[in-house]
């Protein structure tokens, strides 16, 4: 799948996800149950080759980085990772490349006044929930961590990736988003 088609599909999936969130969350929650072997990429689209630059940010790389983060966190929740996390650091939304961009030059890229605050809010919530999941795990509350991972965190992850894709489709130069890309 081409990069632009992938980004369009990701944006459309996020819009559809809002309509079917309960079903998606129910499915993911059951997959995260005891003994689960959920693959962190089961609910992700095929990643495109290449990059999608606009306003100084590679949008595809930002989406990939947050998908990878979600996979690391899932491995941690499922007891398949020996990584250690600092919940306060994980909860910060200004540390990752996307966070730096959103709190800096990203504010000047967009003509649509509603989309950037929606993306910033979803991104902040993504990190806040990740911090809560880490806190739950460190407190030995695996059930809460799994529940957050399967419900709120899953929803906000899909929403954030969709908002990123929408932002690229708006902010990118017209030749970057042509139908043949």
Looking up residue 59, the CATH number of its domain turns out to be: 1.20.120.30
Binning pLDDT at 50, 70 and 90, where does residue 167 land?
confident
Helix (H, G, I), strand (E, B) or coil at 151: coil
Q: Give Cβ neighbours of residue 114 (< 8 Å, ≥ 6 apart).
A: none
- pLDDT, one tens digit per residue, over 60-89 is 888 889 989 999 999 999 999 999 999 999
Place of tokens 């930002």: 62
CA 120 to chain centre: 12
- pLDDT, one tens digit per residue, over 111-162 is 666 788 888 999 999 999 999 999 999 999 999 999 999 999 999 999 998 8
Helix (H, G, I), strand (E, B) or coil at 54: strand
pTM comes to 0.73
CA 38 to chain centre: 17
Q: How many domains does the chain have?
A: 1
Give the range of the structural domain holding residue 155, as residue numbers without chain letter: 3-177
Q: CA-to-CA distance for 157 and 45, rounded, in angstroms? A: 13
């Amino acid at each position: 799948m081409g990069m632009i088609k992938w980004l369009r599909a990701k944006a459309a999936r996020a819009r559809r996800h809002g309509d079917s969130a309960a079903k998606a969350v129910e499915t993911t929650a059951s997959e995260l149950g005891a003994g689960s072997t959920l693959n962190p990429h089961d609910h992700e689209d095929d990643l495109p080759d290449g990059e999608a630059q606009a306003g100084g940010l590679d949008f595809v790389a930002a989406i990939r980085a947050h998908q990878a983060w979600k996979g690391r966190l899932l491995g941690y929740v499922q007891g398949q990772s020996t990584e250690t996390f600092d919940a306060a650091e994980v909860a910060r939304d200004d540390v990752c490349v996307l966070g730096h961009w959103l709190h800096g030059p990203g504010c000047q890229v967009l003509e649509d006044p509603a989309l950037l605050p929606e993306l910033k809010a979803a991104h902040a919530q993504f990190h806040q929930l990740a911090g809560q999941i880490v806190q739950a795990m460190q407190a030995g509350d695996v059930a809460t961590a799994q529940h957050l991972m399967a419900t709120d965190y899953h929803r906000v992850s899909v929403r954030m990736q969709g908002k990123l894709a929408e932002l690229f489709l708006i902010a990118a130069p017209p030749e970057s988003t042509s139908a043949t890309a």
